[in-house]
Structure 1
Amino acid sequence: MVVGDVTTGTDVLIIGAGPAGYVAAIRAGQLDLDVTLVEKDAYGGTCLNYGCIPSKALITATDVAHEAATAEEMGIHADPAVDLARMMDWKDGVVDQLTSGVEKLCKANQVNLLEGTARFADENTVRVSHSGEGQGSESLEFEHAVVATGSRPIQIPNFEFGDEPVLDSKQALALESVPDSMVVVGAGYIGMELASVFAKLGTDVTVVEMLDSILPGYDDDLKRPVKQRANDLGIDFEFGYTAADWHDHDEGGIRVVAEPAEQAAADGGSEASRAAEASGAEQAADERIEFDVERVLVAVGRQPVSDTLDLEAAGVETNERGFIETDSRARTNVDHIFAAGDVAGEPMLAHKGSAEGKVAAEVIAGEPAALDHQAMPAVVFTDPEIATVGMTEPEAEEAGFDTVTGQFPFRASGRALTTGDSDGSVKIVADDADGYVLGASIVGPEASELIAELGLAIELGATLEDVAATVHAHPTLSESVMEAAENALGHAIHTLNR
């Protein structure tokens, strides 16, 4: 590519090199298309650099320390010392290995890499501004484009991420020292994952959540073990509150002020506060409460990065939340412009973005591709993990199925007991008439890995008999999936049947 006031061309322009964008670029390259991938920050996007990968690295590292310190029941007595600087170096090494791998894979698949910020000039042209003094900009014409610009953390009033004590998830994953105390605003998956990380590092953590429970959208049976484990870690919760303000404290640190969510909404607070009022969340009190802490982490959700692209110049429409709506083939309202990943809407999952990126590339190449969300898994890397796929029991019944369910508790699993982690269970939802697996949910050890078998069962149209008749190795956690299927059929061996 030539830098300067010139115009170059490409078959496929991809904006954003996260899991949606770089996957789309590689797949398009495999299909012999001329591909240009524009990225303004770092290859791998938020997921590899500031989200999925670094957070899971720290979750694993802090789990190791916590398990070593709490293994007295196994006859192990230890008081591990955590070197945070070395832990962060290890985490950064993992990130660097993966991001450099993305760049190499793109180049190996003949993808043209272009650093800069892209804005649409019209429906077939973008202007790419290059960072750095004297770098200028250039125009790039395309036949097809894929928008994969991802998402950013939502800010709330009075808590600017530029203020040193106020952290977003990216900043929290790069701290150089362990805070003595922290308020986490938001009990969604990001808030709960990071609350556990810091609690295991020794931070006194309080979670402030405007709703009346953790992890909105998940069933109580899934949330209950996570909430209990958080209580065991010493994490405190204040439900029905929203963070209102903070200021420096005379004795050092900061004072975070929270007020009842209904009051915040009545005062004309944030969109999140108004959502709390609409939810009917029970309020814990009628008065403001204060917390004297060292840091505050704001984790109330993410919003699409669609406002930096001048989409209107290309005629691409967004909904009221800023998401670019697409069809099953990843097309926007403009036929030759596609969108993939977080910017294309919920669920905001890296693997969903990658799947959309593949579909977009294949459709552009003339392949008969489309995305089916039926077997799209979702995972929360809390302690214990939560994983779901397919339909819940109420969703299946609403869709007209007569359902049958099977459940197997990990406390009855020999392998779970040998790991010292036996909280939770596997639950399968199936059609009672023919036994087809419709959905599943898991809370417990390695839920993120176990859910894949059930996703494959849904994708292949497998029945309860198929899952139950598949011989699973012993002793393994995956036997719990087989036993849950057997329980639905009424002949589980290691738990009482319905």
Structure 2
Amino acid sequence: MIKLSIQGMTCPSCAPKVHNKIIKLEGVLDVSVSYEESLVSITPSEDFNVQSAIDALESEGYQSHVQKNSCCAPEQFASNEKELHVAIIGSGSGAFACATKAAEGGAKVTIIEGADVIGGCCVNVGCVPSKILIRAAQLAEQQRNNPFSGLENQQPQLNRALLSQQQSARVEELRHAKYQNILDTNPSLSLIKGYAQFKNASTLIIDKPDGEQQEISADKILIATGSTPTIPEINGLSDTPYWTSTEALFATDLPEHLVVIGSSVVALEIAQAYRRLGSEVTVLARHTLLYREDPLLGEELEKCFKKEGINVLTDTSANNIAHDGKYFIIDSNNGRITSDKLLVSAGRHANTEKLNLEAVGVQVTELGEVMVDAKMQTNVEGIYAAGDCSNMPQFVYVAAAAGSRAGTNMTGGDVSLDLTTMPAVIFTDPQVATVGLTETQANQQGISTISRVLPMENVPRALANFETDGFIKLVAEESTGKLIGAQILAHEGGELVQSAALAIHNKMTVEELAGQLFPYLTMAEGLKLCAQTFHKDVSELSCCAA
């Protein structure tokens, strides 16, 4: 009998639902479900695949794993009674998602990390500390410039050192809860400190902090080494004390004038945050803002930045940088600029240079990103990759989803990652949120489109908030009316995009979206209103018009 521990059953009525799901699977002779014990007991035939049961339960929102004392260990989890061994290079979100999923599948997992702390970029020097800084800056801006009559504006009093301490404390708290605690409490996971490189397709050499080397062999290997800031080749830059995003996020002093080289997501988020905290800010963008996105997004965001006093210089490249001990002197094709701090934020690149990938023939892109298919498999059998080190989009939730699927596939499963409705958010204010195709992308694929743009001044909640910057743009396939893309610039715009993603995923037409019930005075109602503009003039509709 195979016993699965199951999480997610919220009431006794869940038990028969689980029973009906499992009994239909191939190779199941009998099944019993105990709500009280959170246990599924399966009597299998020889052709039963336990991963099919785990996947079936996951599709219904339940998490499960094989109990170690289960007397009929599935063949795909063990070969000749040998426990499957998974080695993971890195300890970020993709790594831990793979580790926990592989452990659920019965594998022994070794995580290898060379940095001082585990957790990767997001929790330590990325998503978490940046959102704390952005939120603090937003509150400072609301104190300085609130839109409501009768509420007196006031200059915020900032102690940057205290804010930095608070950021660090929350980072440490989350790192312990979401990473260290999992490592400490899951007996299937172990950690080796050191930097790994490939000896062959199943063996890693680890350079440990004490100078010793250790070799480990594994049945499956995941590359999850993340990324690092890209530093452009600018004359003189390397001789100056410039900031990367890490220094900018945890600085204890507020610069008088911050120059930002780059218009990446991180560059724009930090630029606005520092402006709102009180610095003068200049952004040097080689192209326009958000030049890879729908042009309207960059145009309107630039207007918002300039309204806040951010100096945006588009089509501008620095060609020489010097530092006189106090100030940066930045020469560009747009003149000379001086500042007391310089942030270089020109994107990130994969950490793969020191892995010795050429020894095993793992294919990488020109940028060094490990090439994977939809199952996270590289071109070398048994070697997988997930996260920023791969050719997948550099988002933490993509890394986690990729790692989870890699862990499932390593232990006998067969799952893929579909990115066709992947939402993305830039946490400026207003926020930039996108999903699906732009008009240009659709046309490049031979899809004729029709689109509508709804200014946020037509959204009742935006009017009530006195925050009418931005727009909602919906892109539909002309022949069918199916929604295929959404581009949003709006305050809290990130809260809208998942609804658009679900509509695209479910192949809804704009007419169907327009006919849905949206609560009045929510920002999400803007999606309905924009969908209505495909067939109506929204300015002529009454309040709450259906």
Task: Give TM-score scaled by structure 1 length.
Answer: 0.86
Compared with structure 1, are the counterparts of its residues 404 and 210 closer, same or farther at alpha carbon in structure 2 (3 Å cutoff)? Answer: closer
How far has the Cα of 1:322 moved from its partner? 0.8
> Partner of 1:49 in structure 2?
124
Listed as ranges, the matches of 1:204-283 within 5 Å are 204-211=280-287, 213-249=288-324, 253-260=326-333
Listed as ranges, the matches of 1:289-300 within 5 Å are 289-300=335-346
Tell me the amino acid that sits aligned with residue 95 of structure 1. V
* Distance in 2 between residues matched to 1:182 and 1:495, nearest whole Å: 46
SS in structure 2 at match of 1:74: coil
Tell me the amino acid that sits aligned with residue 92 of structure 1. S
Compared with structure 1, are the counterparts of its residues 66 and 9 closer, same or farther at alpha carbon in structure 2 (3 Å cutoff)? Answer: same
Query: Residue 105 of structure 1: which of 182, 187, 198 is its match?
Result: 182
Compared with structure 1, are the counterparts of its residues 248 and 408 closer, same or farther at alpha carbon in structure 2 (3 Å cutoff)? Answer: closer
Compared with structure 1, are the counterparts of its residues 31 and 222 closer, same or farther at alpha carbon in structure 2 (3 Å cutoff)? Answer: same
Listed as ranges, the matches of 1:300-311 within 5 Å are 300-311=346-357
1:437 touches 1:457 (CA, 8 Å); kept in 2? Answer: yes
1:483 touches 1:493 (CA, 8 Å); kept in 2? Answer: no
Compared with structure 1, are the counterparts of its residues 245 and 400 closer, same or farther at alpha carbon in structure 2 (3 Å cutoff)? Answer: closer
* Distance in 2 between residues matched to 1:294 and 1:139, nearest whole Å: 47
> Partner of 1:418 in structure 2?
464
RMSD after superposition: 2.4
1:409 touches 1:480 (CA, 8 Å); kept in 2? Answer: no
Structure possessing the higher relative contact order (Cα contacts under 8 Å, 6 or more residues apart)? 1
* Distance in 1 between residues matched to 2:169 and 2:150, nearest whole Å: 33
Q: Does 1:92 align with 2:168?
A: yes
Give a deviation string over 1:202-255, Cα, whole Å, max 9, x none: 1111112222x1122022211222111211222213333322333333xx6223
Tell me the amino acid that sits aligned with residue 122 of structure 1. N
* Distance in 2 between residues matched to 1:393 and 1:334, nearest whole Å: 37
Compared with structure 1, are the counterparts of its residues 373 and 494 closer, same or farther at alpha carbon in structure 2 (3 Å cutoff)? Answer: farther
How far has the Cα of 1:107 moved from its partner? 4.0
SS in structure 2 at match of 1:241: coil
Q: Does 1:26 align with 2:100?
A: yes
* Distance in 2 between residues matched to 1:161 and 1:168, nearest whole Å: 12
* Distance in 2 between residues matched to 1:452 and 1:65, nearest whole Å: 28
* Distance in 2 between residues matched to 1:111 and 1:461, nearest whole Å: 41
How far has the Cα of 1:257 moved from its partner? 2.6
* Distance in 1 between residues matched to 2:211 and 2:328, nearest whole Å: 44
> Partner of 2:18 in structure 1?
none
Listed as ranges, the matches of 1:67-466 within 5 Å are 67-71=142-146, 73-77=148-152, 78-101=154-177, 102-109=179-186, 110-131=188-209, 134=210, 136-157=212-233, 165-211=241-287, 213-249=288-324, 253-260=326-333, 289-466=335-512
How far has the Cα of 1:10 moved from its partner? 5.9
Tell me the amino acid that sits aligned with residue 315 of structure 2. G
Tell me the amino acid that sits aligned with residue 459 of structure 1. H
1:246 touches 1:254 (CA, 8 Å); kept in 2? Answer: no
Compared with structure 1, are the counterparts of its residues 240 and 413 closer, same or farther at alpha carbon in structure 2 (3 Å cutoff)? Answer: closer
Task: Give TM-score scaled by structure 2 length.
Answer: 0.79
SS in structure 1 at match of 2:389: helix
2:83 touches 2:108 (CA, 8 Å); kept in 1? Answer: no
> Partner of 1:269 in structure 2?
none
Compared with structure 1, are the counterparts of its residues 248 and 347 closer, same or farther at alpha carbon in structure 2 (3 Å cutoff)? Answer: same
Compared with structure 1, are the counterparts of its residues 222 and 241 closer, same or farther at alpha carbon in structure 2 (3 Å cutoff)? Answer: closer
1:153 touches 1:301 (CA, 8 Å); kept in 2? Answer: yes
How far has the Cα of 1:196 moved from its partner? 0.6
Q: Which runs of structure 1 show a deviation greater than 4 angstroms over 4 or more consecutive aligned residues?
A: 158-164, 491-497
SS in structure 2 at match of 1:333: coil
How far has the Cα of 1:9 moved from its partner? 9.0
Give the gaps of 5 or more residues in structure 2. Answer: 1-81
SS in structure 2 at match of 1:240: coil
Tell me the amino acid that sits aligned with residue 169 of structure 2. G
SS in structure 1 at match of 2:480: coil
Query: Residue 473 of structure 1: which of 512, 519, 538 is its match?
Result: 519
Tell me the amino acid that sits aligned with residue 259 of structure 1. S
| Segment drifting more, 386-395 vs 339-348 | 339-348
* Distance in 1 between residues matched to 2:83 and 2:353, nearest whole Å: 24
| Segment drifting more, 52-61 vs 466-475 | 466-475
Give a deviation string over 1:359-392, Cα, whole Å, max 9, x none: 2112112222111121111221122111111111
Tell me the amino acid that sits aligned with residue 114 of structure 1. I
SS in structure 1 at match of 2:101: helix
| Segment drifting more, 448-457 vs 68-77 | 68-77
Compared with structure 1, are the counterparts of its residues 57 and 161 closer, same or farther at alpha carbon in structure 2 (3 Å cutoff)? Answer: farther
How far has the Cα of 1:493 moved from its partner? 6.9
Tell me the amino acid that sits aligned with residue 460 of structure 1. N
* Distance in 1 between residues matched to 2:189 and 2:536, nearest whole Å: 54
How many residues were matched structurally?
458
Compared with structure 1, are the counterparts of its residues 75 and 152 closer, same or farther at alpha carbon in structure 2 (3 Å cutoff)? Answer: same
* Distance in 2 between residues matched to 1:248 and 1:493, nearest whole Å: 55
